[in-house]
A and B are shown apart, each in its own frame.
Chain A
């Protein structure tokens, strides 16, 4: 295998995990954009989506449906959980406390979901049945795995669809308005609470699609699976500029590529002094550097303090 083919393969490896990060980051960004809340439970919504997939695939297969249709119940369950979490925990706390209490509530919710599912499903790992089997694409020496193609295509389609939804539809406009100024939106006759609930439903529903993408490549679920994934995606959202949809995409893909390329080349470049084991450290170091240079992230608009 030539060095060039190797490089292209590593780019695709990065794009695969990067599109998962991007879609998860999108969930963070949408919620943050509208209510300035870092929803730390978002990674756990993915866990719930993944468990729903695992449980519904055999049932749907028994009815003669293809396995990927399990994404429909998964989306419904995730959207429902998201709306419940918003209505039962975040909204009451937001109305009584400040942003710190909301943040702590999000962390508590994350732990509640993790430990709750551990109590229900047990701590052990469970495998997810095969969702799609797409043959490996071979172009000359280059081999691209089917899971990689699914992840990248699905990721790009979802990103573009969300961007169009927010920019072109009436509900999208309402979301942007609420994000800009809640009181003014209320005066303009926008149903603010309804819009926030809708945003939560969409953000959490996206978690189910992220869960599908994740399970195509990494077909195993456990109660704590959302933890590291959520953290990396959060970094991606901040790197890209939290609150910005294209930013989530750019941030996610950037983190995926940085991870893949450091794992592949850092050892050779530094003569073995820094090994691929440093990949996570390098990802977080790059985050710090980017934030020093551009505090609002790559695509984020510089924050103008609202009065």
Chain B
């Protein structure tokens, strides 16, 4: 008992010492920037990052952090920005909105921080959005897709927002698959499922598709969909849009639809990533989903360069979607910085990001007035149960 307590106390003391020395370091750099404004920003630019590095979403945050670090080391290796090296001040929000807010406020209070990368997930990003506007510190969230995040002030995103996938799926159904009769099924109790589903239904009508059936479930984690699918099958639909998560679409919706004799297409949003397959793999033929990034994307030359660079820096491991989006976020900052003029302020960086056109690993895009990209989307198709690259859908030129 005593021994354990002593062990703990020592650990705490050690941690405290480390934290103090870290505080001293950052304190030092703050003093520099404070005392002699010009010289201090002198040879480094500080970027803050807030990611989820512990808790259930830790894998996402870790992947993002690797993407930030890769892009920053590439930029620094080529001489930095305007001759200045980028320094990353990374913080963990533990997937918690309060932690994310505290981290953001801390970065906002540090005058040397020019912009923030992150947060990782939608809930923490939504909490940070008003803080970014208040403190006038620009932030780029790589992968927060929720429609409800207040972007467009000082917060921008690299990923497309959820409902955008519904619009792209309708375009894909009409122009590439050339189907006529489509149906949609979504869970009204889940903002992701219903948001994407409703966006699809509206866009399908605009694209001249005949929406023959629109069905709902109470929640997005029901197990039984046969009743609704039976009606969809009876309606003669050739294409079913079912925005659900991998854990529901895989083992329940698709096999149940096939058991009823539905042979048409089933399409979903990025929630299908990691789809859980059960039984006969052939029932997952004609299953498609939209996503942000594909390592097999041959239409974009930046993809293979990115993979090569990542593998070299990370023991030959494969990067994932989060890494790719995070990597693009840093290059978005670089492009804005270059455009904003010499030694830009936070506000000048924000103005340069707003409405920018960008071409990266996850596609070409222009940020809309609300700070979300109008970008190309990857469509993957399941072949023998494996997601394979099908095509890239370019955004509508409005």
A contact set with B: CB distance below 8 Å: 1, 6, 9-10, 13-14, 16-17, 123, 125, 127-128, 130, 133, 136, 143, 145, 147, 217-220, 222, 259-261, 263-264, 267, 275-281
Contact = CB atoms under 8 A, between A and B. Distances in A.
Closest 3 CB pairs of A and B: A263-B227, A277-B216, A277-B188
A10 B251 contact: no
B260 A279 contact: no
A6 B230 contact: yes
Contacts of A279: 217-218
A276 B234 contact: no
Given A6-B230, A10-B230, A220 B217 contact: no
Contacts, number: 87
B260 A145 contact: yes
B318 interface: no
Given A260-B226, A280-B219, 20 more contacts: A9-B260, A10-B230, A125-B247, A125-B251, A130-B279, A145-B226, A145-B259, A147-B259, A217-B223, A218-B223, A219-B278, A219-B279, A220-B250, A220-B278, A259-B224, A260-B224, A263-B227, A275-B216, A277-B217, A281-B218
A219 B251 contact: yes
Given A127-B276, A220-B247, A276 B228 contact: yes
A6 B231 CA distance: 8
B247 A222 contact: yes
A219 B250 CA distance: 10
A18 B118 CA distance: 47
Nearest to B185: A276
Interface in B231-271: 231, 233-234, 247, 250-252, 259-261
B276 A125 contact: yes
A285 to B, nearest CB: 13
Contacts of B252: 218, 220
15 contacts: A1-B233, A10-B227, A127-B276, A130-B279, A136-B261, A218-B223, A220-B247, A220-B250, A220-B278, A259-B227, A276-B215, A276-B227, A277-B189, A277-B218, A280-B218
B56 interface: yes
Given A1-B234, A143-B261, A281-B218, A264 B227 contact: yes
Interface string B211-223: 0000111110001
Contacts of B233: 1
A256 B273 CA distance: 31
Nearest to A14: B227
B237 to A, nearest CB: 13
Nearest to A260: B227
Given A127-B276, A220-B276, A277-B188, A143 B260 contact: yes
B277 interface: yes
A125 B271 CA distance: 14
A16 B277 contact: no
B259 A136 contact: yes
Nearest to A133: B279
A127 B217 CA distance: 22
A203 B277 CA distance: 32
A177 to B, nearest CB: 39
Nearest to A1: B234
A276 B278 contact: no
A280 B218 CA distance: 7
Given A125-B247, A145-B260, A278-B218, A13 B226 contact: yes
B226 A127 contact: no
A275 B214 CA distance: 10
A276 B247 contact: no
B217 A276 contact: yes
Contacts of A9: 230, 260
A265 to B, nearest CB: 9
A15 to B, nearest CB: 11
B89 to A, nearest CB: 31
B240 to A, nearest CB: 15
Nearest to B216: A277
Nearest to A272: B214
Contacts of B224: 13, 16-17, 217-218, 259-260
A218 B234 contact: no
Contacts of B231: 6, 264
Interface string B182-218: 0000011100000000000000000000000001111
Q: Which of A10, A14, A218, A278 has the most CB of B within 10 A?
A: A218
A14 B189 CA distance: 22
Contacts of A6: 230-231, 234
A16 B278 CA distance: 19
Nearest to B245: A125
A130 B278 CA distance: 7
A13 B230 contact: yes
A235 B148 CA distance: 36
Contact of A123 (B56, B215, B217, B234): B56
Nearest to A145: B259
Contacts of B234: 1, 6
Contacts of A1: 233-234
A97 B98 CA distance: 41
A125 B223 CA distance: 13
A279 B219 CA distance: 10
A246 B327 CA distance: 62
Contacts of A145: 226, 259-260
A13 B227 contact: yes
Nearest to B223: A218
Nearest to A229: B223
Nearest to B227: A263
B283 to A, nearest CB: 12
Contacts of A17: 224
Contacts of B219: 280
A191 B147 CA distance: 63
A127 B230 contact: no
Contacts of A263: 217, 227-228
A247 to B, nearest CB: 23
